[in-house]
Structure 1
Amino acid sequence: MAACTRRHWLTWAGVGGGAAVVVGNGPSAHAGEHLKVLRYALRVAETTFDPVQVQDVYSAIPLEHMLEGLYTYDHLARPVRLKPLTAAGMPEVSADFRVFTIRVRPGIFFADDPVFRGQPRELVAADYVYSIKRYADPVNKSPNWSSVDELGIVGLAELRAQALQQRRALAYDHDIPGLRALDRYTLRITLREPRPRLVQKLVGGFVAVAREVIDGYPGRSGEHPVGTGPFRLAAWRRSSHIVLERNPRYREHVYDAEPAADDAEGQALLARFKGRRLPMIDRVELSVIEENQPRWLSFLDGSHDLIAHVPEAFIPAALPGGRLGPHLARRGIQAQRSLTPDVVTTIFNMDDPVVGGYTPEKVALRRAISLGLDVQREIRDVRQGQGVPANSLVQPFTWGFDPRFKTEMSDHDPARAQALLDLYGYLDRDGDGWRELPDGRPLTLLKSTQADQTSRQLDELWRRDMTALGLRLQFKVAQWPENLKAAQAGQFMLWGVASSAESVDGAESLAWLYGPMVDGGNLAHFRWPAFDTLYAQMQALPDGPERAARLRQAQRLAIALMPCKTHLHRYVTDLLHPWVQGYRRPVFWQRWWDHVDVVRS
């Protein structure tokens, strides 16, 4: 999920010209050669390539191919399985789940960069110490700090507090007991409380950056993502075009995996590619195309090699009757349809004077809005059947997800919504057809949205459903990255966004509502002490009935207080031209370019 720690990636849910080119680190290693190039489009613009700032999946996708964490997921294993990436093996874990000792694999090198003065730069344990500390540095203003702080690394919060008190940057060279490089290759993490699933937090998270790079590009580290991964940044035109090329310094790494014995697809991929050196392609070219039609047409005319997530409006053309269209099949195009571990939501700003707050009338307003939204119609008419109603924030394929768990989140009951509004004083006092607030002041809902076609279709459903309740609705249109910034700053009323799981732990989805993360992943600014207590208890407990019971309690609290409305879990259909070989949509992780080949005739 990843370039930063441990919240779920925010993605454009459909619910809502670039700056100068930034050139990578020197000429291509493949100049003049025949290159294997993968080309496709992102639906939303990236934000930055500084891992301490990244919260969105669109930045995470390229970043995870450049910068690496200690662990990853087996690319073919279903159910998912952890495996070392830059670590030499799985961690040594103390009996109380508080001390984790990890050995970094020797012989891994960063991509070349001028800051290294022409010398190879080896990855060492101290790089992870430095990279983790960057989240705590007040200078960086990381929106992910609250997620890191919640882990309870001994001494890290205190080190940050000293920097804040003295109004200076973090003292990176100051030793803390919770984060130490015991020697060149050995990292030790010590926590205040038990964290049985810490290794899941290290999957793609806490990616390693070199201090020389951060110091060498002051204030511009997000433009210079220098890592140990299979690709490096070659060119970048913000919000328009991103080019990555094979990293010549990348270590010897071959295709290997452990698919289940009864996984025919996985076994076939392993038989075909086992032992091939990774990456198998030389270059990746990403375009940012926010509108559905040009993105679809760029795939059909062969300008792009795949379309990752066919726009819902084109599902009838791509999969008539649920099967690949004959016009596509004749061209050798492949289709993969997957239920994804995500949840599409509408978040309410709990600090907003209209929809926020915890008094009965505010809760009633949010519940009425939820009951008034016709999610089944959304799935049928806008998403072309590509989804199933969501009853809570917990996503499919994660621990704690129960498809039998039924709540009012998936109900469409306008009569009940009308009754709630009447009961709590949201009445049309002046007869103009619109309800007022209980104190008689005008009531207008303001929904942040985007200008793309899917958002416009969803906004029309919103307008229809809210009009039926007598609730006046207006829209504030901006690009997705701007809406994310506004949400992070608490400057919104309603916004539709999706959360994609980046680990197998379903309880992590509730971090969206954890009070101490208000300045990070908790975009709703939800604060409820009983919920926070349950969430904290879940982090210390091993998976089992006791933890599951707390998860269910927390889910019910979130549903009762309604800081966010869950809509659906999405199906995603990916289409690939026949020259793209080896593709399999990842479950939680974003890294897959190194596992595909592009063989053009």
Structure 2
Amino acid sequence: MKRLLRSLLAAAPALSLSLALALAVSPARADEPSDSPKTLRYAFRVAETSFDPSQINDIYSRIVTAHIFEALYTYDHLARPAKFKPLTAEAMPQHSDDWRTWTMRVRPGIYFADDPAFKGKRRELVAEDYVYAIKRFADPALKSPVWGYVDSFKLLGLAEQRQRSLDQKKPFDYEAPVEGLRALDRYTLQIKLAEARPRFIEFLAASDLLGGFAREVAEAYGDKISEHPVGTGPFKLATWRRASFIALERNPDYRERYYDAEPAADDAEGQALLARFKGRRIPMIDRVEISIIEENQPRWLAFLNGQHNFIEQVPPEYSGLAMPNGHLAPNLAKQGVRGWRQVRADQAMTFFNLEDPVVGGYTPEKVALRRAIGLGMDVAREVRLVHKGQGVLAQAPISPNTKSYDPAFKSSMGDYDPARANALLDLYGYVDRDGDGWRDLPDGSPLELQWSIESDQRGRQMSEQYQRDMKALKIKVNFKPGKWPELLKAARSGSFQIWHVGNVSASPDSQGALQRYDGSQIGGQNMARFKRPEFDALYRRLSELPDGPEREATFVEAKRQAAAWMPYRIRYHSMVTDLAQREVLGYRRPLFWLDWWQYADVEGARPQ
């Protein structure tokens, strides 16, 4: 008990003594018996929204669905750089020379988890389950926020079938054949595209999005389908208390699948993991328990006191305590804790509603306002004070660790220059016309920004930072606090003016981050509601071009346009710190994919 108290005080000096004492004298967790379920316990800092893949575009929900559903392909968990391999497919896909026809064969003998919807019969995964999964994104009644992303691949006839449903005001016809989406036989899936898509396998490898989906389940549960995800994956949903607690259990019907990977020869960590786990049947753990803890301090304490045996993304204010100067703190190392730190393939961004009458639009004065706000944001100070140095300043909407990321690239996206921002505002008529000390719009009406912000401690810190930045520009700001799911819902519907969000790349190709600028994805990935024909043309060109110099030059032009129009102010890329207690083995942060629980093991319990 004394050792626990010393650890708490050493690892978290910012905590009050009374709080540390209260934690230290709370009943210690008894060692688990050897036959108790192997359980991974950790927390999400943001609540989930749904477990229906057609309805989600937030990372926390998709972490869960990625472990329940299975795509045709997946990523080698240990390979760096990323490498694709079959998951439910028998082999890698066949494609035509023009990259427009893709053919895949589902491996026979894969079954869905048992569910009442199947009426006591084992339900085998077949090609038609992927046809149905993709059609669900096109169903207008489901209003999928990722339909724009799916449609960007231009499956022949799918958008036309969706439009017929809209025009005729009739239910989407799942029975109607679609030229570009067919099950040729029980196990063979063929997809035809209107345009070349050399990297289409990235879509086919998104288990969080494109897992095989049984029609019987959707029909059995109707509008409650988000509460009943049934897939072929290694885990199944056991308990769900919305925005509070999620528990998943090992799928007892999961096929025989064994740990295997191909880490690079010079990858010491990967080779060590392969040597330890190769040949083990997966998943190796029995249960995963996820608490929703929005505030940083209790999430950190839950790990320190043993309630949780893993913490993903240690809160910034504690990352220096956990891994000072990039090395695990001695007191934690003594307890057997392991730590990892790396730059994440993500972007933290502030975005504007391009349909809003104040900050939206494409006329010179509207663009000038967004660019001035971007120039006035002291992101380096935000990273230093709010995020405790755990970030790398961004210069473009391209994520680290993806193919076209260039750490040497520099643009005005990354500039902090309040003098230039004020001059730009003066030039375009945003001046103080009534003498109240705040700038007005060019027509003389008051300029007041409506900035959405999370109602937690981190949100309060960020609002203080943005208030300071905008005050230096003499721009009045009103903050609109709310819970993250509520703010996300408002952003999807266009009911906001300014907000911020993070984007994590889901594939090694850099184009994924540019979905947010694609005009066809408004209401989904494109939450800024940005639409410019010249950028849409660039996005289509990036989709069609094979990798090479011409495509890289197109990326440079896309970066230039992104900075010029400024629908998003890309602020920084996260530096993330993950910790695991001694009993959690095998963890390695995925680069782009979201499923990893099946590759981890939990042995015994941490000594108290």
1:540-551 matches, cutoff 5 A:
540-551=544-555
Cα offset, 1:33, TM superposition = 5.1
1:43-442 matches, cutoff 5 A:
43-204=45-206, 205-442=209-446
Cα offset, 1:48, TM superposition = 0.2
Whole-angstrom distance in 1 between the partners of 2:524 and 2:392:
28
Whole-angstrom distance in 2 between the partners of 1:359 and 1:157:
32
Aligned residue identity for 1:135: F
The equivalent residue for 1:454 is: 458
Mind listing any 5+ residue stretches in structure 1 that lack a counterpart? 1-31
Whole-angstrom distance in 1 between the partners of 2:223 and 2:281:
36
Mind listing any 5+ residue stretches in structure 2 that lack a counterpart? 1-33
Whole-angstrom distance in 1 between the partners of 2:411 and 2:520:
26
Cα offset, 1:316, TM superposition = 2.5
**Would the alpha carbon gap of residues 237 and 482 (structure 1) be closer, same or farther in structure 2, given more than 3 Å must change?**
same
Q: Is the 8 A contact 1:375 1:568 kept in 2?
A: yes
Aligned residue identity for 2:99: F
Whole-angstrom distance in 1 between the partners of 2:388 and 2:328:
15
| CA deviations over 1:495-538 (Å, ceiling 9, x no partner) | 01011000111012111011111132111111111111111111
Q: Is the 8 A contact 1:52 1:143 kept in 2?
A: yes
4+ runs deviating over 4 angstroms: none
Secondary structure of 2:222's aligned partner: coil
Cα offset, 1:430, TM superposition = 2.0
Whole-angstrom distance in 2 between the partners of 1:232 and 1:315:
32
**Counterpart check, 1:553 vs 2:557:** yes
Aligned residue identity for 1:133: K
| CA deviations over 1:272-330 (Å, ceiling 9, x no partner) | 00000000000001100000000000000000011100000112322233322222121
Q: Is the 8 A contact 1:139 1:168 kept in 2?
A: no
Aligned residue identity for 1:324: L
Whole-angstrom distance in 2 between the partners of 1:323 and 1:98:
48
Q: TM-score, normalised by structure 1?
A: 0.94
Aligned length: 571
Aligned residue identity for 2:287: R
Aligned residue identity for 1:314: Y
| CA deviations over 1:339-378 (Å, ceiling 9, x no partner) | 1000000010001111111111111111111111111111
Cα offset, 1:162, TM superposition = 1.5
Cα offset, 1:411, TM superposition = 1.1
Aligned residue identity for 1:156: L
Whole-angstrom distance in 2 between the partners of 1:137 and 1:162:
11
Whole-angstrom distance in 1 between the partners of 2:474 and 2:581:
48
| CA deviations over 1:162-187 (Å, ceiling 9, x no partner) | 21122222111111110111111100
| CA deviations over 1:232-277 (Å, ceiling 9, x no partner) | 0111100000010010110000000000000000000000000000
Aligned residue identity for 2:141: V
The equivalent residue for 1:588 is: 592
Cα offset, 1:337, TM superposition = 0.2
The equivalent residue for 1:500 is: 504
Aligned residue identity for 2:461: Q
| CA deviations over 1:532-571 (Å, ceiling 9, x no partner) | 1111111111011111111111111110011110100111
Aligned residue identity for 1:310: V
Whole-angstrom distance in 1 between the partners of 2:505 and 2:580:
24
Q: Is the 8 A contact 1:399 1:507 kept in 2?
A: no
Whole-angstrom distance in 1 between the partners of 2:482 and 2:288:
28
Deviates more, 1:101-110 or 1:513-522: 513-522
Q: Is the 8 A contact 1:324 1:335 kept in 2?
A: yes
Q: Is the 8 A contact 1:292 1:452 kept in 2?
A: no
Deviates more, 1:266-275 or 1:60-69: 60-69
Whole-angstrom distance in 2 between the partners of 1:421 and 1:301:
51
Aligned residue identity for 2:195: E
Deviates more, 1:384-393 or 1:272-281: 384-393
Aligned residue identity for 2:413: M
The equivalent residue for 1:444 is: 448
Whole-angstrom distance in 2 between the partners of 1:311 and 1:450:
16
Q: TM-score, normalised by structure 2?
A: 0.93
Could you tell me the percent identity over the aligned residues? 57
Secondary structure of 2:431's aligned partner: coil
Whole-angstrom distance in 2 between the partners of 1:130 and 1:33:
40
Q: Is the 8 A contact 2:494 2:523 kept in 1?
A: no
Whole-angstrom distance in 2 between the partners of 1:373 and 1:280:
46
Cα offset, 1:451, TM superposition = 1.3
| CA deviations over 1:71-120 (Å, ceiling 9, x no partner) | 11100000010011111111010001000000001110000001111111
Aligned residue identity for 1:461: Q
Q: Is the 8 A contact 2:586 2:601 kept in 1?
A: yes
Aligned with residue 573 of structure 1, among 568, 571, 577: 577
Whole-angstrom distance in 1 between the partners of 2:326 and 2:402:
26
Whole-angstrom distance in 2 between the partners of 1:499 and 1:84:
26
Aligned residue identity for 1:153: L
Whole-angstrom distance in 2 between the partners of 1:450 and 1:112:
39
Secondary structure of 1:218's aligned partner: helix
Secondary structure of 2:54's aligned partner: coil
